Amino acid sequence: MSLFEELNKKIVFVVGGASGIGAAIVETFRNEGAVVVNADYLYENRQLVASQENYWQVHLDVANEATVEQVVSQLVEHSLVPDIFVEVAGISTMDFLTESQTNDFDRVFAVNTRGVYLTSKLIVREMQKQHKKGRVIIIASQAGKNPYRGMSAYVASKHAVIGLTKTLALEVAKDQILVNAVCPGIIETKMKHTEREIGGQLRNMTAEEVLAEDISQVPIGRTGQPQDVANVVLFLASPLASYMTGQAINVTGGMTMH
């Protein structure tokens, strides 16, 4: 059921929409009747493919500037410059800082921070050219506000993402492009399950024990689902959020309150 008729036929570009939070966001906008372009590293097709009506897919490596440029050029060519851009792509590694590998640190920053920089720069540039008074919504993390053991690279990358979000919001406010971040807490995705396994090994705990610890830290008593995040993204894309920019909105069940 559509909640916002204003989003019908709007062009939504989702980066990292193949699984987890991204997949929930894609489905949410499709339910609103939007034209959705879903770009993800997992897709093989290097050219935009319309697999269903008003739904496109394309391969995108957000850390590779030439690849990002190619995809943005295709958006322009197909008249698919977005009204709403949602950047979800992200990875994590787990190790204590003093024992971590520099290559892992660089890889996390390449996707989580450089990826946000490259995609936002090139997409927003096209939005400005077409005078689109649109929305940019970047998936950060509560790790952009708090430290977590064994996640130095991820924490640092998400702090940087929030900084990029605020700076971009300030710079493009004059164009009526609103830029906000969403900071999920503990969301049940494949990546989170992997983190529990690896993080548990680092701390001599089972994944089940880590899950119990996770739940104990959330005031409302449960971890989140991808749809919990997608709902907030939808709100930020809607007319209800027309006086919001430069914000980092928590979706954490009360775990983070600042």
Distance between CA atoms of residues 216 and 200, nearest Å: 16
C-alpha torsion 100→103→106→107, nearest 10:
-110
Q: Does the annotation mark 55 as catalytic?
A: no
**In 3D, which of 107, 135, 162 has the Cα closest to residue 240?**
135
Q: List strand residue ranges (DSSP E) for the chain, in order.
A: 11-15, 35-40, 49-52, 55-59, 84-87, 135-139, 178-184, 248-251
Set 41, 148, 154, 243: catalytic member = 154
Q: Are strands 178-184 and 248-251 parallel, antiparallel or unpaired?
A: parallel
> CB of 112 within 8 A of CB of 156?
no
Q: Which residues contact 194 (CB under 8 A, 6 or more apart)?
A: none
**In 3D, which of 253, 234, 255, 237 has the Cα closest to residue 245?**
237
**In 3D, which of 156, 135, 134, 131 has the Cα closest to residue 144?**
156
Hey, which residues are catalytic here? 154
